[in-house]
Structure 1
Amino acid sequence: MTVDDMLQVIPPVAVYLLTGVVIGLESLGIPLPGEIVLVSAALLSSRPEIDVDPLWVGVAATTGAVVGDSIGYAIGRRYGMPLFGWLGRRFPKHFGPGHVAVAERLFGRWGMGAVFFGRFVALLRIFAGPLAGALRMPYQKFLVANVAGGICWAGGTTAGVYYLGLVAETWLKRFSWVGLVVAVLAGLGVTLWMRRRTRSMVREAGGAAVVDGDGTAPGNVTP
């Protein structure tokens, strides 16, 4: 069985559910590859022989983003900043003091804009909901930025990747998988650059983190 044959037997509902669940869990604060799943689903929808609708991919991704962020907001509001100290001790690679410092600085500077644009940045995607709740951002403002960011990110990514796939199919015909590989490599290049930039910001923030009077980082308390 070829790759094309295997792709054609994937139930469309499974693609929509997987997209929504992964993005929802990532938005809740669990570090998962939501963007990779969304791009893959959008590419599948661009293949005419595969019965995956790009509209429903976008709807599933948007729903997952909004619901996941809202749950993350509720968790952050319940436990406050000590939650990030607890997470940092157990998952320092994703929730270390430097990561929290960068996210908190961006929230302090941009407010609702950090929620909206955070949907497009891997670091802020897992922080936006819980951190907005912990910082007591009014839920109405959070919801507006959350929904707008989810629609623009999910809808824009799905549409862009879908039409890129159509162009590859039209121009490359039998070699359409070459277009897929090129698109994936380009996406990986941008992702790696963003991650390198994020790590640099995290290192800078970690080195400049303010230490409180008892010698522990702020918020480093078990919830």
Structure 2
Amino acid sequence: MHLDAILHSVPPEVVWLIVGGVIGIESLGIPLPGEIVLVSATLLASQGVVSPWAVGIAATVGAIAGDSIGYSIGHKGGKPLFDKLGRKFPKHFGPAHLATAERAFDRWGMWAVFFGRFIALLRIFSGPLAGALKMPYWRFLTANALGGIVWAGGTTAVIYFLGKAAEQWLSRFSWIALVVAVVCGAGVTLYMKKRAGKAMHAAEESPEEPDLTRAQ
């Protein structure tokens, strides 16, 4: 069963619980399609199936809470936690992934947490890695909250209004409306992802070894 069919088959209250849960678990460091779930739920909101406010708030809370729990786990487990995860899940937590994320934190500090919400690699690493690197929690929470609000709230708002507009203007061609809404919604985060991607690329090419104390 496809994601859209699953969201259509459950009560509205369960839809935003799924949104918050998936995004929260992804933010803990477990690879899940949080962005896809958010977009799908928001398109349902544009059709009146569920409240867009509920979707946006659930996504924001899930992002902030999940990252905060991930921070606590990383703070307690430290670098050995990532070494262990790297051995068990090399495709997601391998040494190359960890080194890239560390360089991003070394170069950008708390901005790596903010931009981490917009790209897949840092999205699953930002909370636990910030904790492992002993970044002060107030700095982490500030960047985490801002990133969660901009990503979750902004994406929900833009896709919702674009979906409503597309539905009204292209009501005779509903499939076109769906394509337009998805494409335009994906473009909302394109600029942020491009900037974050450049930051990651610059960090990867940096010849210096990461000074992990700078994240503090």
Give the shorter-chain TM-score range: 0.7 to 0.9
Query: Residue in 2 aligned with 1:102?
Result: 100
Which of 158, 174, 181 is 2:179 aligned to?
181
Q: Which has the larger radius of gyration?
A: 1
- TM-score of the pair, normalised by structure 2: 0.82
The change in CA–CA distance for 1:190 and 1:97 in structure 2 (over 3 A counts) is farther
Secondary structure of 2:31's match?
Answer: coil
The change in CA–CA distance for 1:202 and 1:100 in structure 2 (over 3 A counts) is farther
Secondary structure of 2:159's match?
Answer: helix
Query: Residue in 1 aligned with 2:212?
Result: none
Query: Residue in 2 aligned with 1:46?
Result: 46
AA of the residue aligned to 2:171: K
Structure 1 segments of 4 or more deviating over 4 A? Answer: 4-9, 185-191, 201-211
Residue 36 of structure 2 corresponds to residue 21 of structure 1 = no
Q: CA deviation at 1:187?
A: 6.5
The change in CA–CA distance for 1:125 and 1:22 in structure 2 (over 3 A counts) is same
Secondary structure of 1:137's match?
Answer: coil
AA of the residue aligned to 1:34: G
- For this pair of structures, how many residues does the alignment match? 204
Q: CA deviation at 1:7?
A: 6.8
AA of the residue aligned to 1:78: K
The change in CA–CA distance for 1:157 and 1:207 in structure 2 (over 3 A counts) is closer
* Structure 2 stretches lacking a partner, 5+ long: 210-216
Residue 81 of structure 2 corresponds to residue 83 of structure 1 = yes
| Contact persistence 1:98–1:203 (CA under 8 A) | no
The change in CA–CA distance for 1:69 and 1:136 in structure 2 (over 3 A counts) is same
Secondary structure of 1:149's match?
Answer: helix
| Contact persistence 1:97–1:206 (CA under 8 A) | no
Secondary structure of 1:72's match?
Answer: helix
Root mean square deviation, CA, Å = 3.2
Q: CA deviation at 1:72?
A: 0.4
Aligned equivalents of 2:6 and 2:81: distance in 1? 43
AA of the residue aligned to 2:87: R
Instruction: Report the identity percentage.
Output: 64
Which of 129, 142, 151 is 1:131 aligned to?
129
- TM-score of the pair, normalised by structure 1: 0.79
Aligned equivalents of 2:176 and 2:116: distance in 1? 31
